[in-house]
Amino acid sequence: MRVAFVAPGDFETTSGGFRYDRRLVASLRETDDVSVYSVPWRRYPLSLFDAPATPLSRFSTDADVVVVDELAHPTFAVRCAGVREDHTPVVALVHHLRCDERGPGAPLAREFERRFLARVDAAVCTSSATDAAVRDLAPDPALPTLVAPPTADQFDPDVSPTAVDARATESPFRVVFVGSLVPRKRPLALVDALAALEVPWEATFVGPQPNERYASRVGRRCRRRGVDGRVTLAGALPTAALETVLRRAHVLVLPSRHEGFGIAALEGMGFGLPAVVTQSGGATDLVTHGENGFLVPPDGVGAVYAALSALATDRTRLARMGRAALTRYRSHPPWPETAARTRTFLARVASDPSSAAEPPLEAT
């Protein structure tokens, strides 16, 4: 099978979504011919102006199927119809829909994402929540989709339930945030929730800081709330350093407005960390509220504070939920299974798009 994989911007970008893309390409290359193409990725919605110069048919000449990371939808929302004229099917790889991030740009994103989905033949989605959102937005209710979740194997945690129990008794209460320091991830909400805690605590924020002004704003919020001595804005860390942070932490918090999957939550679970994550998006595939973590609204601070306070003040509960998080991590589908099912799906689309539909990969 010949695959043209189209991604926005730099394919080596540091993020969970691009890491997924690179891993999928590597797996497909074990059996197939895969070419990777980059298209402009500018501040939304400036990419719309790149559409006249970048039709998808440009990538389909020597391909049996074209896979497009949905982040590139502004470039193709108008022009990808041309691919169907030469019978090369198009598959959208959807980590999450931009319109689900909400905010002032959501209505415009919704319109162009709807146009994009109207012109693809199938979609691979990284969570059941994203799959449902795609099915809801796509004009064709019969659009074939596959749920193909990522796997958290950046680390080899080898954490035992006994270690989780022992760590739960330690002080201070240690919180880790793993994600880009951007408004969508809501680090300011976490700072405000931490400031209200009445027990000793410390927190580490790990992740790229793409907007220096916003990172400075987070620092100012820490100082204004009087917690700058207990919050470390670590920036992006290499794998070994991040592993050290996760091994010491008690809980992982990512109160985003929306997450397509939430790979950081799954990675934290591998270390026995309950996850406090948004109820908007794919984290609902991972977290059972009150069992292995907490699902919080994508706005406000109160629920984040309540979740942290519940764990910080009840270490027996912290240990129990940490063990449950570890169990959930160990039951997650391995990457070879996800990759094999994705390849089969793409091959079906390449041969006959109308026959590609199959039951989603269930999270266990």
pLDDT at 33: 97
Residue 61 neighbours by CB distance under 10 Å: 9
- The predicted-structure confidence for 106-132, as pLDDT tens digits, reads as follows 888 899 899 899 989 999 999 999 999
Note whether 349 and 291 are same-domain residues.
Answer: no
Question: What average pLDDT does the segment 46-63 reach?
Answer: 70
- The predicted-structure confidence for 17-29, as pLDDT tens digits, reads as follows 888 999 999 999 9
pLDDT at 44: 65
Note whether 321 and 174 are same-domain residues.
Answer: yes
Note whether 172 and 141 are same-domain residues.
Answer: no
Note whether 287 and 232 are same-domain residues.
Answer: yes
Note whether 342 and 311 are same-domain residues.
Answer: no
Note whether 200 and 260 are same-domain residues.
Answer: yes
Check: CB of residue 162 under 8 Å from CB of residue 142: no
Q: In 145-301, where does DSSP find H-type helix?
A: 161-168, 187-195, 212-224, 239-248, 263-269
> CA 351, CA 239: separation in Å to the nearest integer?
40
What's the domain range around 270? 161-330
Query: For residue 229, what are the contacts with CB-CB under 8 A and spacing of at least 6?
Result: none
- The predicted-structure confidence for 292-336, as pLDDT tens digits, reads as follows 999 999 999 999 999 999 999 999 999 999 999 999 999 999 999
pLDDT at 276: 98
Q: 25 lies in a domain?
A: yes
Question: What average pLDDT does the segment 344-358 reach?
Answer: 81
Q: What is the DSSP letter of 332?
A: S
Reported as a pLDDT band with limits 50, 70 and 90, residue 86 is low
Q: Is the model's pLDDT at 288 over the cut of 60?
A: yes
For the ranges 82-96, 170-184, 231-245, the lowest mean pLDDT is seen at: 82-96
User: What percent of the chain is predicted at pLDDT more than 90?
Assistant: 71
Q: 45 lies in a domain?
A: yes
User: Tell me, what CATH number does 176's domain have?
Assistant: 3.40.50.2000
pLDDT at 81: 45
Number of domains forming the structure of the chain: 2
Note whether 106 and 172 are same-domain residues.
Answer: no
Reported as a pLDDT band with limits 50, 70 and 90, residue 254 is very high
Question: What average pLDDT does the segment 262-283 reach?
Answer: 94
Note whether 217 and 299 are same-domain residues.
Answer: yes
Query: For residue 52, what are the contacts with CB-CB under 8 A and spacing of at least 6?
Result: 78, 79
